[in-house]
Structure 1
Amino acid sequence: MTTANMRIWAQVDKTDTRFTKDAKVGGQQITSLNGTAMIMKATEVFGPAGIGFGWSVVEERFDKGAEMFNGEGDKRVSLGFELNHTIKITFWFVLDGQRGEIEQYGCTQYLYKSKYGTTTDGEAPKKSLTDAIKKALSMLGFSADVFLGMFDDVNYRQQLEAEQAIEQAEDKEAEIERQKQERLAFIKGTVDAMKGAQSLRELKKIHDTAVRRLDARNDSAGVQRVAKELADLSPKFTQETAA
């Protein structure tokens, strides 16, 4: 793909960590994206909603899900079926005077069983619409780091937070200096921990953990410093094993 093809993607692939939160959906831990923040980013790229981009609802329906029951054995009673709200939209945007369109679906539980019995979500249509818009934007690269699973790496998130802290700071120089001191303290703490390791396995574990964090920050000098400590200390454990 050419640079021109990736123009939008490169502008919007990194997610502002201020507008994310951890959530559990279907038993899985995910990073939830703020829909309004994604609209704000789309406005930055395309212009105001309704002018530079927008959407129209193509289809909206309620889909029957699994049957719900209450009680056990002879006392088992059917509560009916779950209902899921589904919406299909055409998302459009204008780029360099040319209109583009993307079709996407959004889905939200409307009627389901909870610990209180059967529950309905009156905001299901709104949530489904937001879901569809976010999915459409993701196809253009918006918050690609989340959809690619990069947010699962704590080191990536920490690096992103550090970059955004500098960008959003009133005194950027002071924030850069604070992060420099934090880096030096981290490397010193790592080296001290490596010197106190009681086995080669523990030594390598401390080294590998630090390298993952430093690699995420593209800190080659930090990686080299930690690697040097590993090279200097490893013979000690090799000699003890031989003895």
Structure 2
Amino acid sequence: MDKNREIWDKVKHTNPRWTKPFGKFGKPLTAIDPMYQVMVMTDTFGPVGKGWNYKVSYTYTPTLVFAEVSVAHNKIFNDSTEWVSWDWYGPVSSVQALTKKNGGLDDEAPKKAMTDALTKAFSHLGVSADVFLGMFDNSKYVEDMKEKFSQKPKVADEKLVKFNK
């Protein structure tokens, strides 16, 4: 494993269970469940606020909301079992319209912008890199991932499955 891609290689594969196909501008794409991405970050670094963290800032115009997200993970662990140094990167931005197609207010717009920016920030660490690299366009690859993830799931993955039932 390349030391520069140590984190990337741990988080690059996506469990197809947590993806959905969708289309945009006539092109087939794959959506990744945002809670799955949070679970991957937690499995890799520990609980949010301890092993990893994020900051969000919003900017509003009359019609749009911009979310800027910075993500950090801990890189130094001291003898008192506390993390003492954050490795921040970002900000990564996203924008959403404040109104729905019918003209009504979209009260979910800030959350959508934040979630989209978090997804992009996580991708910079390699989370679900296979989706962003277009590998989910290959049905054989998706089948291989289904097989890989059909083996004994991690405890956190089992809990998420039970939670989503």
Deviation at 1:112, TM superposition (A): 4.4
Q: Aligned ranges for residues 70-85 of structure 1 at < 5 Å?
A: 83-85=63-65
Normalised TM-score (structure 2): 0.79
Deviation at 1:22, TM superposition (A): 1.0
Deviation at 1:101, TM superposition (A): 1.1
User: For the residues of structure 2 that align with 1:13 and 1:27, how far apart are their CA atoms?
Assistant: 26
Q: Which residue of 2 aligns with 1:108?
A: 96
Q: Any idea what the Cα deviations from partners look like across 1:63-122, whole Å, max 9, x if unmatched? A: x6xxxxxxxxxxxxxxxxxx3321112211112444211211122232243xxx324321
Structure 1: tracts of 5 or more residues without a match: 65-82, 169-243
User: For the residues of structure 1 that align with 2:65 and 2:22, how far apart are their CA atoms?
Assistant: 20
Residues 59 and 65, structure 2, Cα contact 8 Å, conserved in 1: yes
Q: Any idea what the Cα deviations from partners look like across 1:29-58, whole Å, max 9, x if unmatched? A: 211111111111101111110111111123
Deviation at 1:26, TM superposition (A): 4.1
Aligned pair count reads 145
Secondary structure of the equivalent of 1:5?
helix
Residues 58 and 65, structure 2, Cα contact 8 Å, conserved in 1: no
Residues 53 and 94, structure 1, Cα contact 8 Å, conserved in 2: yes
Deviation at 1:152, TM superposition (A): 0.8
Residues 46 and 95, structure 1, Cα contact 8 Å, conserved in 2: no
Q: Aligned ranges for residues 22-37 of structure 1 at < 5 Å?
A: 22-37=21-36
Q: Which residue of 2 aligns with 1:133?
A: 118
Q: Which residue of 1 aligns with 2:106?
A: 121
User: For the residues of structure 1 that align with 2:151 and 2:70, how far apart are their CA atoms?
Assistant: 37
CA RMSD of aligned residues (A): 1.9
Secondary structure of the equivalent of 2:4?
coil
Q: Which residue of 2 aligns with 1:146?
A: 131
Residues 138 and 144, structure 1, Cα contact 8 Å, conserved in 2: yes
User: For the residues of structure 1 that align with 2:24 and 2:96, how far apart are their CA atoms?
Assistant: 11
Question: Which structure is higher in helix share?
Answer: 1
User: For the residues of structure 2 that align with 1:13 and 1:88, how far apart are their CA atoms?
Assistant: 23
Amino acid at match of 1:10: D
Deviation at 1:25, TM superposition (A): 3.1
Structure 2: tracts of 5 or more residues without a match: 78-84, 154-165
Task: Go from structure 1 to structure 2 and tell me whether the alpha carbon gap of 1:84 and 1:22 turns closer, same or farther (over 3 Å shift).
Answer: farther
Q: Which residue of 1 aligns with 2:80?
A: none
Residues 71 and 89, structure 2, Cα contact 8 Å, conserved in 1: yes
Q: Which residue of 2 aligns with 1:90?
A: 70
Residues 45 and 74, structure 2, Cα contact 8 Å, conserved in 1: yes
User: For the residues of structure 1 that align with 2:59 and 2:68, how far apart are their CA atoms?
Assistant: 6
Normalised TM-score (structure 1): 0.55
Q: Which residue of 2 aligns with 1:241?
A: none
Query: Which piece of structure 1 moves more, 98-107 or 138-147?
Result: 98-107
User: For the residues of structure 2 that align with 1:92 and 1:60, how far apart are their CA atoms?
Assistant: 21
Residues 67 and 95, structure 2, Cα contact 8 Å, conserved in 1: yes
Report 1 or 2 for greater relative contact order, CA contacts < 8 Å, sequence distance ≥ 6.
2
Q: Which residue of 2 aligns with 1:38?
A: 37
Secondary structure of the equivalent of 1:6?
helix
Q: How many percent identity over aligned positions?
A: 30
Deviation at 1:11, TM superposition (A): 0.6
